[in-house]
A and B are shown apart, each in its own frame.
Chain A
Amino acid sequence: MSHAVTAKRPNSLQGGQLPKWAPLAIAAGSLAVSVGLCLATGIESKIQWGLIAAILYIVGTYVISARVENRRQAKDRIATSLVWVAFLLAVVPLASLIWATVVRGIKVLDGYFLSHSMGVVGNSEPGGGVYAAIIGTLEQVGIATLIAAPIGVLTAIYLVEYGRGALARAVTFFVDVMTGIPSIVAGLFILSILLAFNLNFSGFAGALALTILMLPIVVRSTEEMLKLVPNELREASLALGVPKWRTILKVVLPTAIGGITTGIMLAVARIAGETAPVLLVVFGNPFINNNPFEGPQASLPLYIYQQYSLSAGSDAGIDRAWAAALTLILFVMILNLAARALARWKAPKTGR
């Protein structure tokens, strides 16, 4: 009949939506409930508070979202919150580590600390500094880089540009094996050579052990960077009548140099913190030894260890250890920043 009222069709495109502040509110709510529950039941560990809050947050988000919005949105929010929780789990320890190092290291870190050695100071006494260790690390890491970087880059060039047969497969296999060598095994290897030839501890021996650890990283990352250079560039250069070695040197390498440098810097950052091989073959030295080829040297990671162990846990020793840890972290961070700046400067430009 013409006056019948037709049933109103629900607006099928629109649905409910949680307001933007909802996730925060649910988080705050679940935290409050968790803290309340834990205080009531006598659970004191902050970690457990956090875990219970996280679980409540996820469950709460799902339930509330399923009521107000629809189930697909609820699942979407669950996925988002899982990702966030994972991120926080990863970042919180890192942030806490950096915070602890900065707070404890800054106590003794000053110009004096950076420019004096431990020569005349007893291990449990305050005073003294990390200069010998800085010199040692710089020299050992420097020599290791001078050896490992060219060999690594040339190996990678061989594997990517020339290698086709059994030799290439063997090299790749051994590089993969070397990637997994524990650092103390590398140190033992060099130590056995020192003992076989009746040589003394030296910074150079440490550099050799660090080279073994650095080489596979440089080879792998250079390989990846070279593979990223499009083949069309090599073909364009070859088609101009440029010999293959010149193509690699003048076209492929300059295109990949940003990434290769970053790879080398990252490898350097990694070996700067290796303690085990240095402990075995460099031995440590409270006095300044500028010559890496003769006599034991100090080294930053070794210094940290020795300040703790040799000072029998005294406060002065522990303070110095933290300050040296902070120095090491700063050193690695500066290297990383330098690597990024270099990569950006050298990247193929796309300006108009």
Chain B
Amino acid sequence: MAKRIDVSGLHAYYGSFRAIEDISMTVEPRSVTAFIGPSGCGKSTFLRTLNRMHEVTPGGRVEGKVMLDDENLYGAGVDPVTVRREVGMVFQRPNPFPTMSVYDNVAAGLRLNGSYKKSQLDDIVEKSLKGANLWNEVKDRLNKPGSGLSGGQQQRLCIARAIAVEPKVLLMDEPCSALDPISTLAIEDLIGELKERFTIVIVTHNMQQAARVSDRTAFFNLAAVGQPGKLIEIDDTERIFSNPSVQATEDYISGRFG
């Protein structure tokens, strides 16, 4: 059951350096939102605050509120581990666990968090691999190592692993930047299917991808190197790419900088 995200007044720091400043936005359930912006503007940092991964970095610190439906992820007494089971993440470079087979990789999130019967696991693994459009390619090699797949397959395996635990929100940090165009297309199609079940937020450098895949787009920028990143504009994707309200957005989209 997808959930809605409400961010208000979010600041994120690395030690004493403020990386992003005063972000407020809403992400509707069962939609795809893309974050675009030049390198170093804080899009990935902001993404990682949404599942409390930012504080895993030494010196990482967050101020502000992130509401998942009606619960504040940064409220007192909230366990980051529980948050991460609700908000899943797929990373830029495919990272299947090297000591585990394909089956074990997909089942990892479940096995490491509870005990399940073999039949239950079989069902969930099959469902997740089908959901990631990988089932037909791996159904005969479920017990082979996960690292023996191609790059695009590995990334889909990571997506299957992330959706196997049934998160409410799926965060994707430049999932296609390490892949070739065909695999990229496969994953973009997959995102179109997954948005029926999850709320998806995707960070991307590729503006055409943002235009193809997302319902809403958010543009981030920084004033200068060493300054914190800010949210400049967030709007429906069509509006952003055809008639943005802020000049900086227009400049970025038409390639005048970035």
A binding-site residues for B, Cβ under 8 Å: 164, 230, 232-233, 235-243, 246-247, 250-251, 254-255, 348-352
Contact = CB atoms under 8 A, between A and B. Distances in A.
A240 to B, nearest CB: 4
A27 B81 CA distance: 68
Contact of B144 (A236, A242, A348, A352): A352
Given A230-B95, A232-B95, A250-B112, A241 B84 contact: yes
B85 A238 contact: no
Interface string B81-125: 111111011010101011100000000110011000000000000
Q: How large is the interface on B (under 10, 10 to 19, 20 to 34, 35 or more residues)?
A: 20 to 34
Contacts of B109: 240-242
User: Which of B51, B58, B89 gathers most chain A CB within 10 Å?
Assistant: B89
A351 B148 CA distance: 6
B98 A236 contact: no
A240 B95 contact: no
6 contacts: A232-B91, A233-B98, A240-B165, A242-B109, A348-B145, A349-B99
B97 A236 contact: yes
B216 interface: no
B112 A238 contact: no
A351 B144 contact: yes
Nearest to A254: B99
A239 B50 CA distance: 11
B88 A350 contact: no
A294 B148 CA distance: 54
B253 interface: no
B23 to A, nearest CB: 21
A232 to B, nearest CB: 4
Nearest to B90: A239
Given A240-B84, A242-B112, A352 B148 contact: yes
Nearest to A349: B145
A350 B145 contact: yes
User: Which of A240, A243, A349 gathers most chain B CB within 10 Å?
Assistant: A240
A232 B108 CA distance: 15
Contact of B145 (A232, A241, A254, A351): A351
A255 B99 contact: yes
A236 B88 CA distance: 10
What 10 pairs across the A-B complex have the smallest Cβ distances? Answer: A241-B85, A348-B98, A240-B109, A239-B89, A241-B84, A232-B95, A352-B148, A349-B145, A242-B112, A254-B99
Contacts of B81: 241-243
B20 interface: no
Given A348-B147, A351-B145, A238 B56 contact: yes
User: Which of A232, A233, A236 gathers most chain B CB within 10 Å?
Assistant: A236
B43 to A, nearest CB: 17
A299 B51 CA distance: 57
Given A164-B58, A350-B145, A350-B148, A237 B113 contact: no
A246 B108 CA distance: 11
A349 B56 CA distance: 28
Given A240-B162, A241-B85, A242-B81, A348 B95 contact: no
Contact of B113 (A241, A255, A350): A241
B113 A233 contact: no
Interface string B135-154: 00000000011011000000
Given A164-B58, A241-B109, A348-B99, A235 B148 contact: no
Contacts of A349: 98-99, 145, 147-148
B161 interface: yes
B158 interface: yes
A352 B51 CA distance: 34
B97 A251 contact: yes
Contact of A240 (B56, B93, B108): B108
A233 B99 CA distance: 11
Given A240-B112, A242-B109, A348-B145, A232 B93 contact: yes
Nearest to A253: B99
B53 A235 contact: yes
A243 B81 CA distance: 6
Contact of B53 (A238, A243, A348): A238
Given A233-B98, A348-B147, 4 more contacts: A240-B84, A241-B86, A242-B113, A255-B99
A254 B101 CA distance: 13
B158 to A, nearest CB: 7
Nearest to A257: B99
